[in-house]
Each structure stands twice: as C-alpha cells, then as structure tokens.
C-alpha cells in the first residue's frame, strides 16, 4: 500500500510540498487508500451481528408466556372478587317499627342524621297501626325492634326480648325502675281516705293491666281461674273509674262527663300522665293510679296542667294505709316495675340476622352520644315535635344496655311486677329469680 503525506499550511494559496516519507509531526494527516480494507471496521461490524432464528423464537415465546400469565392472573383475580361479592350478603338494614305516621317521620329524620354521622347499620322505618301490630311484625321477622310499654311486654314475654331500657330522671335521681303510686289532692282526702278505702271515689287509672292486678293483690281475695275477672271486681270498688282502654270499654265511662264507649277516644286521659290529668280535672274525690315518673315529669315539664295546684298540694297514698309526700315514693308506693324497653324477637337467629341484637345496642349506644338528652344538635333522639313520646319517652335521659347473656324477659320484668300480673290472672304466685339484667355500671340506678 502506498502512503502519501501532506503538510497542512496556514496559507491556503501556498503550494503544498511533498514531505519526506519518514517525517512525523503533529500537523501531518495520514490518508489511507480507500481500496484497502479496514481492520477496525471489520471488528466493529462483527460485534453487531444478526441474531439467529432460534434466539428470536425463544424471545417471542418468553413474551407470549408473560402475557398469558398476566391474562390468566387477571381472570382468576376477577373471579375471586366476583365470588366474594356474591357469597358475602349485602349490608342489612335495621328495621324499626313505628306506630303511626308521626313516629315514622321522626324515624326517617333520625335515620338521616345517623347516616350523616356515619352510624351503622342503616335504619329502615316500618309503619304500623298500633304497638300490638309492631309485636306481630317482629314475630313475623318483618321488623327488628321498637320501644314497648311494660304491660304489652308482659303479655308477649315469650316472643320478645329486652335489649335496652329507658332511664329517666325523677326528682333529680336517675331511675331504671318506676314505682306504681296512688296520688290524690290533699283537699279531697278525708280522715278515712286511703289506698284501701275507695268508697265514693273516682279511680283515674293509667294502666288496667297494672292497676287491676294491684287492686286484686291488695284485696287479698283468691279466685279460681274460671271465676277470675279482676277488672270487673276492681271497678266495683269505686264509684266510677276512668281509663282510656279500648280493650275494656266498660272502664271508660267515668272519664269526666263523657258517658259511652266514645270516652275511650278521650286521649287527654290516656296513660299514666292522663290519669293525673283525670284526677286534677275531677269534680269529686279522685285517686290517680300512675307512676312516680309521670308525676314528676308533668310537674317539671308541663306545670300548666296543674293550674294553681303545686306539688305540696298532692299526697301519696301508701299500701299500708298511711300517707306521704311525693318525694317519698321509694318508701310509699304500690309496687315496682321496670321502665319501657327496646325489644327484639326472642327467636334463635341465623344468617345476617345473627348480629342484629348486638348491632342494635351498638348503634343506639353510640347514637345517644351524638343525639342524646344533653345534645345541642338540631336533632334529639329523646325529644318529640308535634306530638309526645315518639319512638322514646321524652323524659328519657339515656338508654341502658342489657346484659343479654344473664337476662330473661321475666327477670327484666321483676318479681314485683310478675306477682301483680299473676294476681290479675288469678293464677298461683310463682317466684321470679331476683337478679339484675343490667351491666354493673347501671345497677346502682335501680
């Protein structure tokens, strides 16, 4: 191969002079003949060689495997998720039974506020015509819970179970029990007037299932079951009796001046507070068979009912024939009974229904922290508008949970109340175990 060396000059017009063959300087450029093959280029080209068909096939196969596993894994994951969704039941609503449209309206409002604060389970409001209809709906599993009066709970004690109890504040004391009391105006009582002497008296009765058994028990009379008619015999002890009880219209005729069965529609005298109104409105001597809670609730929250009559103008008639002031109801009373209760079915549960009793307690226990008696929010569980005692009694301070593992409906009703009801039905008195249904922190309020 021939090589030619050229010297680069600074002046482009200067003639280029051939250099000696062996001279080497920094300014010398070496040109190779283009016809001579380049060894370095051959090396570089050999390094970037074309892959063989076997290598290409293996690479494509590996990529296909990865894609296949990805698709298969995705299908398996979606299948597992679908099975889990289908196998897991949808969250169940808690179905609350409401008596009438007023209660339903409050229930819907309560459910809305519970939901806005993230309280679960969600509530569904089921409307019924009467408390008895609610009992039937619960027994048919069409409703889960509602608040029940004690006489109706006793009547359905075999199919209902108490979960929470209303706690009231009576004379500045928290009470989980109420006392049956007989109240009269001091101006009406005479020297011989007592709870065992009813001649020429009007009986204003808050609950016949309670008072009928009470009077039968105090009379000491023993009936055979075929001759038993405690209500008839009790009414004979009074000149007149007033009780708004549609199931016993004969006891309605003494309600003020209204004579006929229509008197049973006289809502003003219905219930324990109605019995007090009846006694206050009476034109002749009357005794109100009511509860200590009803008396103090009217005095503290609806004093206008009493007009010019004060608490000191009323007196309690004790079971031993003596008298006492209203504040001494714990020693001067006719018997003890529990407060109203939130109840559920006593049936054995399965499936999504198993947790309903526990979810009910948790929901209401937490909800009263948000919307209880001391809440300043716009909604209050224990306050009613346009009506009274909707869902819960307006005098409720809080709901106390039951120790459901150590409680029965009979135990909740208590021996005192059970004995009164056995007297009412003229049955033999049986002993009910004396034990509490409440958790230890609530037992001091009994």
Cβ atoms of 295 and 326 closer than 8 Å: yes
Please say if the pLDDT value at position 100 is more than 90.
yes
Q: What is the number of alpha carbons within 13 Å of residue 258 lying toward its C-beta?
A: 19
pLDDT tens digits for range 252-267: 767 755 444 455 666 7
Q: Decide which of 239 and 124 is more confident.
A: 124
Please say if the pLDDT value at position 24 is more than 50.
no
Which of 160, 100, 95 has its CA nearest to residue 128?
100
Q: Decide which of 7 and 266 is more confident.
A: 266
Which pLDDT score is estimated for 41?
Answer: 46
Cβ neighbours of residue 335 under 8 Å, at least 6 residues apart? 179, 180, 214, 416, 417, 420
Q: Name which of 58-62, 148-152, 223-227, 280-284 the model is least confident about.
A: 223-227
pLDDT tens digits for range 34-50: 444 444 444 444 444 56
pLDDT tens digits for range 330-366: 999 888 889 999 999 999 888 778 889 999 999 999 9
Which pLDDT score is estimated for 218?
Answer: 59
Cβ atoms of 98 and 107 closer than 8 Å: yes
Mean pLDDT of the chain: 78
Rounded Cα distance between 318 and 344, Å, is 36
Average pLDDT score over residue span 297-316: 82
Longest Cα–Cα distance in the chain: 159
**Domain range annotation of the chain:** 52-88, 94-174+340-445, 177-337
Token look-up 């015509």 returns 129
Which pLDDT score is estimated for 98?
Answer: 98
Which pLDDT score is estimated for 6?
Answer: 45
Average pLDDT score over residue span 8-33: 48
Which pLDDT score is estimated for 381?
Answer: 96
Please say if the pLDDT value at position 298 is more than 90.
no
Which pLDDT score is estimated for 420?
Answer: 77
Q: What percent of the chain has pLDDT over 90?
A: 33
Please say if the pLDDT value at position 308 is more than 80.
no
Which pLDDT score is estimated for 21?
Answer: 47
Spacing of C-alpha 37 from chain mean position: 96
Which pLDDT score is estimated for 34?
Answer: 46
**Would you call 14 helix, strand, or coil by DSSP?**
coil
CATH architecture of 177-337: 3-Layer(aba) Sandwich (3.40)
Which pLDDT score is estimated for 358?
Answer: 92
pLDDT tens digits for range 360-403: 999 999 999 999 998 889 999 999 988 889 999 999 999 999 98
Please say if the pLDDT value at position 154 is more than 50.
yes
Question: What does the block give as tokens for 284?
Answer: 């002749």
Average pLDDT score over residue span 395-419: 90
Please say if the pLDDT value at position 127 is more than 70.
yes
Q: What percent of the chain has pLDDT over 70?
A: 68
Please say if the pLDDT value at position 32 is more than 50.
no
Q: Decide which of 58 and 336 is more confident.
A: 336
Which pLDDT score is estimated for 337?
Answer: 87
Cβ atoms of 265 and 152 closer than 8 Å: no
Please say if the pLDDT value at position 27 is more than 60.
no
pLDDT tens digits for range 311-327: 888 999 888 888 899 99
Same fold, 94-174+340-445 and 177-337: yes
Please say if the pLDDT value at position 419 is more than 60.
yes
Cβ atoms of 313 and 186 closer than 8 Å: yes
Which pLDDT score is estimated for 440?
Answer: 77
Please say if the pLDDT value at position 26 is more than 50.
no
Which pLDDT score is estimated for 35?
Answer: 46
Which pLDDT score is estimated for 28?
Answer: 44
Strand-pair category, 173-175 with 160-170: antiparallel
Cβ neighbours of residue 236 under 8 Å, at least 6 residues apart? none
Cβ atoms of 383 and 99 closer than 8 Å: no
Strand-pair category, 202-205 with 286-291: parallel
Which pLDDT score is estimated for 409?
Answer: 93
Which pLDDT score is estimated for 1?
Answer: 47
pLDDT tens digits for range 285-296: 888 999 999 999
Q: At what angle do helices 409-424 and 208-219 cross, to 10 degrees?
A: 60
Which pLDDT score is estimated for 213?
Answer: 62
Interior/surface letters 389-419, b for 16+ CB within 10 angstroms, e for the rest: bbbbbebbbbbbbbebeebbbbbbbbbbbbb
**Would you call 33 helix, strand, or coil by DSSP?**
coil
Please say if the pLDDT value at position 99 is more than 50.
yes
CATH code at 94-174+340-445: 3.40.190.10
């Amino acid at each position: 191969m021939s090589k030619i060396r050229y010297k680069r000059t600074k002046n482009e017009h200067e003639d280029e002079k051939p250099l000696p063959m062996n001279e080497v300087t920094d300014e010398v450029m070496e040109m190779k003949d283009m016809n001579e093959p380049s060894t370095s280029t051959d090396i570089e080209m050999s390094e970037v060689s074309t892959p063989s068909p076997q290598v290409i096939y293996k690479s494509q196969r590996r990529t296909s495997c990865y894609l296949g596993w990805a698709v298969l894994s995705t299908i398996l994951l979606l299948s597992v998720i679908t099975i889990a969704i289908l196998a897991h039941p949808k969250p169940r609503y808690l179905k609350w039974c409401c008596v009438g449209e007023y209660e339903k309206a409050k229930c819907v409002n309560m459910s809305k506020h519970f939901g806005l604060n993230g309280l679960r389970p969600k509530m569904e409001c089921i409307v019924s015509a009467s408390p008895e209809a609610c009992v039937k709906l619960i027994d048919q599993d069409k409703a889960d819970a509602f608040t029940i009066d004690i006489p109706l709970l006793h009547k359905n004690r075999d199919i209902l179970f108490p979960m929470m109890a209303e706690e009231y504040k009576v004379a500045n004391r928290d009470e989980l029990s109420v006392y049956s009391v007989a109240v009269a105006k001091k101006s009406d009582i005479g020297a011989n007037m007592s709870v065992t002497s009813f001649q020429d008296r009007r009986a204003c009765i808050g609950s016949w299932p309670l008072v009928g058994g009470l009077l039968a028990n105090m009379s000491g009379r023993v009936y055979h079951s075929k001759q038993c008619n405690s209500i008839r015999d009790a009414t004979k002890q009074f000149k007149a009796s007033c009780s708004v009880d549609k199931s016993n219209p004969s006891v309605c005729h003494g309600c003020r001046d209204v004579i006929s069965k229509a008197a049973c529609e006289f809502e003003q005298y219905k219930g324990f507070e109605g019995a007090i109104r009846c006694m206050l409105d009476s034109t002749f001597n009357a005794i109100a068979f009511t509860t200590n809670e009803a008396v103090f609730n009217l005095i503290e929250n609806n004093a206008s009912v009493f007009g010019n009559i004060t608490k000191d103008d009323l007196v309690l008639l004790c079971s031993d024939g003596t008298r006492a002031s209203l504040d001494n109801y714990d020693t001067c009373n006719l018997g003890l009974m529990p407060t109203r209760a939130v109840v559920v079915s006593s049936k054995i549960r399965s499936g999504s229904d198993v947790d309903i009793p526990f979810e009910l307690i948790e929901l209401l226990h937490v909800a009263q922290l948000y919307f209880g008696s001391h809440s300043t929010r716009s909604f209050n569980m224990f306050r009613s508008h346009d009506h009274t005692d909707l869902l819960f009694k307006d005098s409720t301070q809080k709901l106390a949970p039951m120790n459901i593992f150590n409680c029965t409906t009979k135990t909740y009703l208590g021996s005192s109340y059970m004995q009164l009801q056995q007297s009412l039905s003229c049955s033999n008195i049986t002993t009910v175990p004396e034990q509490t249904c409440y958790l230890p922190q609530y037992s001091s309020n009994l």
